[in-house]
Amino acid sequence: MTAQTETPGSVTAVYQVSGMSCGHCEGSVSSEIGEIAGVSSVKAVASTGEVTVVSVAPLDEAAVRAAVDEAGFEFVGKA
């Protein structure tokens, strides 16, 4: 058993996003990705560029890329 707070059947993915430099950036990215259907939580960390997403099923990478683009940042790929 892991220490993470995932619910059974959830999927966690970590993406790399460039251009985030502050809490506002983290909020913008989190907000846009959070609007994708099935996403239950998003945690963006500007200092590392990592965005951890928990969802009910694997996400379409194109949808994540579009959300990051909408927030004004560059989607690099899975971390």
Where in the chain are the domains?
19-78
Q: Which residue has the higher pLDDT, 25 or 8?
A: 25
pLDDT tens, 9-67? 799 999 999 999 999 999 999 999 999 999 999 999 999 999 999 999 999 999 999 99
* Model pTM above 0.85: yes
Beta bridge partners of 78: 15
Q: Looking at the domain covering 19-78, what would its CATH class be?
A: alpha beta
**Chain centroid offset of residue 35 CA:** 11
* 28's tokens: 């913008």
